[in-house]
Structure 1
Amino acid sequence: MADVIGRRDRAQLLLAGGLALAVVLVGLALVVNAVIYTENVATREDDPAADALRGHAAIVDGAGGIVDHVNGQYVGTPYATLYGAHYDDAFVGLQSGLRTEGIARGTVLQATDSRGYEGTQIVDDTDGAFEPQYLVALGANWTVAADSRVRGFEMNVSVSGLASVDPGTVQTLLGGVTDDVFVVTVEDREGRLWQAAVYENSDTAASDLAVTVRDVQTGTYTTCSLAGSRVIVDLTAGELQSGDTRTGCPGLDFLGEATGPVTVTYGNSDKISGTYSLVVDRAAGGLRAEVNRENGVTCTDPATYSTDPANPPYALPAIYGTIVTTDYTGPGATYETETWVAPGEPGAQPQVPQVRTLSVTDQRNDTTDQAKFEVSWTAADPNAGTVNATLTVTNTVTGATQTFANRAASGTVTFLGVSGSAGDTYTFELTTSDGRYARSVTKQQDADGKQNDCGSDSNSPPSASFSYSPSSPATGESVSFDASASGDDSGIASYEWDLDGDGATDDATGVTASTTFTTAGDHDVTLTVTDDDGATDSRTRTVTVTAASGAPSVDSIGVTDQSSDGPGNSPDEIEFDVSWDVSDPDPDLSTLRITLVHVPSGSQVDTVTVGLSGGGSPQSGMNTVSWKERGVYGDDFRIELRVEDAAGNTDTSSVTETANGGAG
């Protein structure tokens, strides 16, 4: 099986501005250098704003690396488990690494994951033509993605498998009808079209892969090429890459120009050989249903995509993106921001609502000649806004329709057909809207008394998944659990919790639960979900509880006055050697800040920040604060000490001295 694309290689955590994070992932350690900042925060030359931005960049890169890694490592896993378990577990590792580095560097750098956004990864990772799952049904011209935002769209192309044509001929072919070269066509919601032909350039002596892009709106053509036996064509970054050589390709980044979701089609997919992958912002079930509809595939035909990773091309659940919050607190700077993270996305955050599930259950029995269906759905808005749903049921035999309008984002309705409708075929179109944008998913079902789409009477088991907050609770602190990421094709009937680790899920019921832990250490929490057909699934997570944090303390301050009176018009040299002792009942001492204040003016004239080792036993040291200024010898100065631990607990103490060189 060939390597899909370089995107999986880039799933390692990236470095930004000299930063690195150590992140431990389940099943794989993505480890980079252990130093998070290149500057020494204990020096006075630090730029706090730049330090905060570097920390934010590291968090964004870390979250993006986790998204790509989880999608690539756990192919075929339900979205609820991808995000609620694998991503969440890895993100906890990221948070732990940030806390450790923050303690060492005298800052507090925190990352919080707000919510993920479901998507689908479309992959063909076996070298060959870019043909659909069943070529007989669809042919070489077919829809790849329907009405979707697209990111990470890359093709790893074998140049020897391409048609050999010159760029001038390709421009002529793109302006008419071509069966000679492979073409990717993208159309956005405003009807704007772009085409990209991929071929071997016959005008060059070397084996050059060439791409000619046609912007249909402007009528312009751009061509770029790169030599190599295999070339990666990146349609979201607008680049070509062969080995270590990477070059920009003007016009190829047209996905960033498209307005909203796009439809992607392949033309002459038998004129190319290699692998490809892309991630779209639609749930897998809805994406497959819409692609099948675009391709004219009915429930009696083979599907466009497989749901088996061993039988590509497949379309399976993925994390499209996630929202993370950065909180930075350090000497001289406080920084907080919320960021959308979607690796390889050419545009802004998706805005169009998403149908996450659409389930049609045939409830007709043999004693009636009427069609009867129960239809359930769930939808979501990428901006967490309000979603309105409309379901239209159409009898394809008679053309009769019934509309269920102004429904909630999640709901269930029962449709009853007229007498004699048993055996007819129905389509169920669900349209979701947030008032500005809308998107639809259509399914087809025969009224034959069998469950799920088109006569399949199997039941898919549910998937249990839950998150908890805070991620690192202390003894006596309330811990909240949320199982809303769990999923099922027909709906979850019950949620049961084991919160005390005794093996019995009898401590709480419902989507959410909470508890407190009185002892430090690891505590297992188990969720069991049951669907409408009685199938179950369980998920156990280990919650690590720390002892409730005690406050640090400044135990002693010693001051030696080294000040001197400047001769003549020379400035006075104010200098105090400050010795100190601090302690903390917990092993999480973080920083000590020593501030010199000129009492008559109230001005802070010098500050020194010391990064502590994090140990819980008493720590001591000596630092110097100083100031040069005319006419201040003999004035009073206050030396203030502020110690802080990793939990944000603080203690302050101060002494006042007269700057007289220790004359008393």
Structure 2
Amino acid sequence: MADLNGRRTSRGGERAQIMLVAAFVLAVTFIALAVMLNSVIYTENLATRGEDAHGSEAIAYRADMAAGTERLIEHVNENQTGESYDDHVANLTTSIAAMDNGTAPIVATGGTRTKVSVMSVTRGTRIGQFNTARNFTDVGATTDWELANSIEGTRAFRINITDSSQLVEEDLISFLGGGIDPFTVRVDDGTDDWAVRIYEDDTTDNVIVDVEGAGECEVGENPEIDLTAGTINGEPCGPLSFGDGVSTPYSLRYEQADQIQGNFSLVVDSTSFTSSHYSADEDTPFADDQAIYAATIRVLHESADHVYATDAEAIPGENDA
């Protein structure tokens, strides 16, 4: 993980920068190789079919380019923290061009010309905390606090509980007041809200993920919860439909954030937040508003008997809300 402060010493910083660039080039190379392999498979499997096959091949190529772009967005956000937003966009654009240059010659062997270019990029904020032994309070130990507001979308919102014994036990919760409130994630548009409460079953020590008004899921200790994908430890949790019934823009907040221990991360389509809740130390909550939330690419797939040109939106975790 790159230094969030973006500080560099003259020689140590140069070495770190070289290593970072090398890692980035390798990542682009691996993505291009994966896309090329898929393209070869598509070409070989579809070359002997009718004209409908060309449409299938073009659609598959579009999906491949969008998936590759999503991986590049994640790489830029996670490995080039501390750089400006313009730098992020430039790095993404250069990387997509490299991916395009790597795949086009392979696809051309089947008589197809391809081109991928960046049409637009959406700026967002990457929020997280990586210290697994800390609760979810802000840097000032505030228990009820707003992560961001004016949010148009949230993706990859993942909570990893590392010590479920720190959760409030169910028998200590008073649903009518007077007891101990559990850790809660709340989405609020000013009129409607959506909330999920996380606490511990006092009998089984299992973790309960309770979506207010929708139902609950019960799992074992120390689960990984993906709020926007609606999964716990990779398995679907039916009631967990992030922000259901809430309109955009909305705010996102933690309540009773001292009643949970672990780490979390998310990316929001917003750059509006209170900076005093955060620091540059990734062991406490941090917010990087230089991140890329999504990108729109133009994909061209053309041969002697078809021309397929369309835009594709690349949002890492596209199935997220």
- TM category (shorter chain) comes to 0.7 to 0.9
Aligned to 1:60: 66
CA contact (8 A) 1:147 1:263 kept: yes
Structure 1 residues 145 and 319, CA gap change in structure 2 (3 angstroms): same
- Tell me, yes or no, if structure 1 residue 153 matches structure 2 residue 157: yes
Q: Higher helix proportion, which one?
A: 2
Structure 1 residues 248 and 178, CA gap change in structure 2 (3 angstroms): farther
Q: Distance in 1 between matches of 2:227 and 2:151?
A: 15
Structure 1 residues 162 and 153, CA gap change in structure 2 (3 angstroms): same
| CA-based RMSD | 2.6
SS at match of 1:95: helix
Q: Deviation string for 1:146-176 (max 9, x for gaps)?
A: 121322211111243432534x876x52x64
Aligned to 1:26: 25
Please, which moves more after superposition, 50-59 or 33-42?
Answer: 33-42
Q: Distance in 2 between matches of 1:268 and 1:141?
A: 6
SS at match of 1:254: coil
Q: Which structure is larger by alpha-carbon Rg, 1 or 2?
A: 1
Q: 2:143 aligns with which of 127, 140, 145?
A: 140
- Tell me, yes or no, if structure 1 residue 340 matches structure 2 residue 292: no
- Which 4+ stretches in 1 moved above 6 angstroms? none
CA contact (8 A) 2:230 2:241 kept: yes
Q: Distance in 2 between matches of 1:68 and 1:196?
A: 26
Structure 1 residues 187 and 342, CA gap change in structure 2 (3 angstroms): same
Q: 2:302 aligns with which of 318, 322, 329?
A: 329
Aligned to 1:305: 278
CA contact (8 A) 1:75 1:309 kept: no
Aligned to 1:201: 201
SS at match of 1:344: coil
Deviation at 1:257, TM superposition (A): 4.2
Q: Distance in 1 between matches of 2:72 and 2:59?
A: 20
Aligned to 1:268: 256
Question: How do 1:195-234 and structure 2 match up within 5 A?
Answer: 195-204=195-204, 207-214=205-212, 220-227=213-220, 229-234=221-226
Structure 1 residues 71 and 239, CA gap change in structure 2 (3 angstroms): same
Structure 1 residues 178 and 275, CA gap change in structure 2 (3 angstroms): farther
Unpaired stretches in structure 2, ≥5 consecutive residues? 2-22
Q: When the two structures are superposed, what TM-score results if normalisation uses the length of structure 2?
A: 0.81
Question: How do 1:156-305 and structure 2 match up within 5 A?
Answer: 156-166=160-170, 173=175, 176=177, 179-189=180-190, 191-204=191-204, 207-214=205-212, 220-227=213-220, 229-241=221-233, 246-255=234-243, 257-283=245-271, 287-288=272-273, 291=274, 303-305=276-278
Aligned to 2:286: 314
Q: When the two structures are superposed, what TM-score results if normalisation uses the length of structure 1?
A: 0.41
Q: Which amino acid aligns with 2:309?
A: E
Tell me the percent identity. 24
Aligned to 1:73: 79
Question: How do 1:635-650 and structure 2 match up within 5 A?
Answer: none
CA contact (8 A) 1:235 1:255 kept: no
Q: 2:99 aligns with which of 79, 84, 94?
A: 94
Question: How do 1:180-579 and structure 2 match up within 5 A?
Answer: 180-189=181-190, 191-204=191-204, 207-214=205-212, 220-227=213-220, 229-241=221-233, 246-255=234-243, 257-283=245-271, 287-288=272-273, 291=274, 303-306=276-279, 308-310=280-282, 312-316=284-288, 317-330=290-303, 332-344=305-317
Structure 1 residues 199 and 48, CA gap change in structure 2 (3 angstroms): same
Structure 1 residues 208 and 253, CA gap change in structure 2 (3 angstroms): same
Structure scoring higher RCO (CA < 8 A, sep ≥ 6) equals 2
Q: Distance in 1 between matches of 2:25 and 2:247?
A: 38
Unpaired stretches in structure 1, ≥5 consecutive residues? 2-23, 215-219, 293-302, 349-664
Deviation at 1:91, TM superposition (A): 0.9
Deviation at 1:45, TM superposition (A): 5.2
Q: Which amino acid aligns with 1:275?
A: N
CA contact (8 A) 2:128 2:282 kept: no
SS at match of 2:296: strand
Deviation at 1:258, TM superposition (A): 2.5
Q: Distance in 2 between matches of 1:261 and 1:177?
A: 33
Aligned residues, how many?
290
Q: Which amino acid aligns with 1:197?
A: R
Q: Distance in 1 between matches of 2:318 and 2:57?
A: 26
Q: Distance in 2 between matches of 1:30 and 1:156?
A: 28
Structure 1 residues 130 and 328, CA gap change in structure 2 (3 angstroms): same
Q: Which amino acid aligns with 1:51?
A: E
Structure 1 residues 310 and 236, CA gap change in structure 2 (3 angstroms): closer
Q: 1:51 aligns with which of 48, 54, 57?
A: 57
